[in-house]
Amino acid sequence: MTTLVIGANGQIGKQFCEHAHEAGEPIRAMIRHEDQADWFAGRGIETVVADLEDDFAHALDGCDQVVFTAGSGPDTGPDKTLLIDLYGAIRAVDIAAEKGLERFLMVSAMRAEDPMTAPEKLRPYMAAKFAADSHLRRSALPYVILKPGRLTDEAATERFAEGVDEAGDNRISRANVALALVHAVQDKALQNAEFTLLDGERGIADVMV
């Protein structure tokens, strides 16, 4: 079961690729430019050059599932939010559905299910994630939606919580998100499931059930 990684060159994407490959998962990293290939080639990870803002359907050929972790979060400009987080995600879902892939794993965001509860400056970004998640739920594809809280650059703790009440905070490291994604990719039984993810005290298999 080969996984196409859209957003492979991002901060979560790279850590996910590294861990998934080490775990023996067949992955293909979608990169925008050929000069991004060295980092992956050096680790023995297959790459495909394709542009999420242009034609990328060929990148899915021969893959069985998609991890979508493109978009660098709420700090990119809203123009890119519309083109990448919204339209890129929707097209990826539609292409995966057309090609009959088996599963789509989306990295969304906490608060995406109710954008107007987010801090005001994050609302436009959350609106894009809301719409992309909604499109995925209504597609024919089995899906997993991960909704991490505020992303940090801390080291992985491999310990998680599912909500703010449990975590006592709203943060999760990108490293932990990457590990949760590896778990989701490996656990094929996870279908049509959604998880809010924060740094916490539990193992991932205990949280993502």
Nearer to a second copy, 37 or 82 (CB): 82
3-class secondary-structure state, position 1:
coil
Q: Within 10 Å of residue 64's Cβ, how many Cβ atoms?
A: 17
Asked if residue 90 binds a second copy (CB under 8 A), the reply is yes
Q: In the numeric block, which tokens belong to residue 124?
A: 């436009």
Q: Does 125 qualify as catalytic in the annotation?
A: yes
Single out the segment in contact with a second copy by CB under 8 A; choices: 1-9, 78-86, 165-173, 181-189. 78-86
d(CA 30, CA 155): 25
Kindly state the smallest distance separating residue 147's Cβ from a second copy, in Å.
17
Window 97-116: contact mask with a second copy (x via CB under 8 A):
------------------xx
* Cα distance between residue 149 and residue 79, in whole Å: 22
- Residue 54 as a binder of a second copy (CB under 8 A): the answer is yes
Cβ-based nearer residue to a second copy, 34 or 79: 79
Q: Is 138 in the site for a second copy (CB under 8 A)?
A: yes
39/87 with CB nearer a second copy: 87
CA angle 137, 208, 205 (to 5 degrees): 150
Q: Is residue 175 involved in binding a second copy (CB under 8 A)?
A: no
Q: What 3-state DSSP class applies to 136? A: helix
Of 12 and 131, the one with the shorter C-beta distance to a second copy is 131
With binding defined as CB under 8 A, does residue 154 bind a second copy?
no
Write the DSSP string, 142-201: -EEEEEE-EEE-PPP---EESSHHHHSSSEEEHHHHHHHHHHHHH-TT--SEEEEEEE-S
Q: Where are the alpha helices (DSSP H) in the chain?
A: 11-22, 37-41, 78-80, 89-98, 123-137, 164-167, 174-186, 204-207
Interface with a second copy includes 74 (CB under 8 A)? no
Instruction: Decide whether 116 or 209 has the Cβ nearer to a second copy.
Output: 116
Size of the site for a second copy (CB under 8 A): 24
Site residues (CB under 8 A) for a second copy? 53-54, 77-79, 81-83, 86-87, 90, 115-116, 123-125, 127-128, 130-132, 134-135, 138
Active-site residue list: 125
